[in-house]
Amino acid sequence: MHLPEDLVLEILSKVPAVSLARFRSTCRRWNALVVDGSFAKKHYAYGPRQYPIVIMLIEFRVYLVSIDLHGINNNNGAPSAKLTGQFSLKDPLSNSSEEVDIRNAFHCDGLLLCCTKDRRLVVWNPCSGETKWIQPRNSYKESDLYALGYDNRSSSYKILRMHPVGNPFHIESEVYDFASHSWRSVGVTTDFHIQTNESYGMNVKGFTYWFALSKDWWSSDDRRFLLSFDFSRERFQCLPLPADVKNLHLTVVLSVTREEQQLCMFATLGAGNVYKLDVFVATKTEETTGELTWTKFRRFHSKICINVSADHEKKVLVPHHILLPYYNILHIVGEDIYIRQVNKDGDIRCPILLTYVPSLVQIQQGI
């Protein structure tokens, strides 16, 4: 039976991305529809609600993490987490099936922007397996900071590269445009320093946000602020933190809600093993400027979080109630999972945790 194309599109739009990826090898007609860029973008925006997958970068590999919110698999009923699988990215420079060593990752629309241990840059869709290796104008540096975002004006993805030169407050920036497949300079800034130990950057509605430190941090009452980058206009903007977030907060970390794609902020106040956690939600994002309106969601105490570290033999993320050399904290708020990373030792790199939503979004390839 030959179904009308409109009906096929309607049916496929209700199928999760992971299942659609499997259908591509079943039927040429379905494959043509699935790989169509407009369908992929529409499916990501309006398709069935998909729970985000928590992925963790451990020893240069991307692992899938299963979160048990209700403690079904735990005798004491406490929430738990364990490693359930791995995304594999093969190295095109290897004659064997050797995998790429991934040093860092950034998520946007189901795509991962990955920095490799040997300083290469690749955009990867783990759901479809599609990749695009990005060549530098000169060379990449270990101190580079990256972000992947979407230009709503040109309907194209872009990569932001920031490179500190000389001192952390002197930053040269450039953008890679997937439409032209080339890099161009954005300029030099000397007003801020991004605190990478607190902020890897979060992408929301065409803007990426980080926590930054003012160049006048030693004399300013507002030494910390929110830095945004607009991928459509290719410009930075300094935004104030919520009024309740003071400089006395120990750490301030960003996350994103699952469904509405709202920016969230975690501000920790306290000392030792006793602390309070204030959660703020950006209830409004100005479309043209990226400015945010914040609402204080609520205050939590340490009992609502799980401190986890990886047990490689059992593939389990083990809860801890002591300070470790490095650890991550998963905050469970209702059925949403927020990730906060804390690094207690500057010599030990904290494993990276991301929430990843599978998608069929295609990567714009060059000719």
Residue 126 lies in a domain: yes
Domain that holds residue 20: 5-39
Indicate whether 83 and 27 sit together in one domain: no
Cα(333)–Cα(57) distance, integer angstroms:
23
Cα(275)–Cα(186) distance, integer angstroms:
40
pLDDT greater at residue 28 or residue 343 = 28
Nearest to 249 by CA among 273, 270, 265, 234: 270
Q: pLDDT at residue 209 above 70?
A: yes
Q: pLDDT at residue 324 above 50?
A: no
Cα(161)–Cα(184) distance, integer angstroms:
10
* Residue linked to tokens 């714009």: 364
Cα(314)–Cα(116) distance, integer angstroms:
27
Indicate whether 175 and 319 sit together in one domain: yes
* Residue linked to tokens 């985000």: 52
Nearest to 87 by CA among 132, 47, 43, 53: 53
CB-CB contact of 177 with 158 (8 Å): yes
Determine phi and psi for 172, rounding to 5 degrees. Answer: -95, 135
Determine phi and psi for 64, rounding to 5 degrees. Answer: -90, 140
Nearest to 156 by CA among 137, 132, 180: 180
Confidence of residue 305 (pLDDT cuts 50, 70, 90): very low
Indicate whether 35 and 61 sit together in one domain: no
Indicate whether 26 and 54 sit together in one domain: no
* CATH number of the CATH domain containing 275: 2.120.10
* Residue linked to tokens 């050399």: 325
Nearest to 112 by CA among 365, 349, 367, 355: 355
Cα(111)–Cα(131) distance, integer angstroms:
9
pTM of the model: 0.77
pLDDT at 168: 77
Indicate whether 32 and 54 sit together in one domain: no
Q: Quick one: which H or E segment has residue 251?
A: strand 251-256
Residue 304 lies in a domain: yes
When the pLDDT of each residue in the chain is averaged and rounded to a whole number, the result is 73
What mean pLDDT is predicted for residues 332-348? 44
Confidence of residue 121 (pLDDT cuts 50, 70, 90): very high
Length, in residues, of the chain? 367
Indicate whether 20 and 121 sit together in one domain: no
Residue 297 lies in a domain: yes
Residue 87 lies in a domain: yes
Number of domains in the chain: 2
Residue 33 lies in a domain: yes
Indicate whether 28 and 158 sit together in one domain: no
Residue 155 lies in a domain: yes
Indicate whether 175 and 60 sit together in one domain: yes
pLDDT digits (tens, 9 = 90+) for 240-272: 888 777 655 566 777 776 555 778 777 777 655
Residue 287 lies in a domain: yes
pLDDT digits (tens, 9 = 90+) for 59-100: 888 888 776 666 656 666 666 667 777 888 998 888 878 899
Indicate whether 90 and 18 sit together in one domain: no
pLDDT at 28: 73
Indicate whether 125 and 151 sit together in one domain: yes
Residue 89 lies in a domain: yes
Indicate whether 244 and 319 sit together in one domain: yes
Indicate whether 20 and 77 sit together in one domain: no
Q: pLDDT exceeding 90 applies to what percent of the chain?
A: 17
